[in-house]
Amino acid sequence: METCRIAIPSTQPGGMESAVGAHFGHCDCYTLVDVADGKITEVSTLPNVPHVQGGCMAPVNHLSQHGVNALIAGGMGMRPLMGFAQVGITVYHGGEAASVGDAVAAFLSGNLPQFSQEHTCGGGLG
């Protein structure tokens, strides 16, 4: 059985109907979606950690500690993107999705590109 845990930066209160947070490091919370064999098995929320200057790795480590394998985000800088790669979290670009549910549906259908330098905000933003 293939399983993964997807994190999506979200506006309050989180969940499948919430809007996707524009920037992963400054979102209200993360919606965590557990998937097994291509089907959603559980949806939960996780509060974000405080984002301080130069602290782009705090959310990276926070998500890693909660078993996240994939992140769908609208934008981030190269530093956190490299951090996600180091902890084994694949990052997908889903900034155009209207809701968390739409982002997850696009992910499950294979329609989200992986982040690359072209998709980052640059400037070390987290």
Quick: pLDDT tens for 3-42. 899 999 999 999 999 999 877 778 889 999 999 999 999 9
Quick: pLDDT tens for 80-124. 889 999 999 999 998 789 899 999 999 999 999 998 644 444 433
Question: What is the residue-wise DSSP string for 89-112?
Answer: -EEEE-TT-SSHHHHHHHHHTT--
pLDDT at 54: 54
Do residues 86 and 78 touch, judged by C-beta distance below 8 A?
A: no
Ordered domains of the chain (ranges, CATH): 3-119 (3.30.420.130)
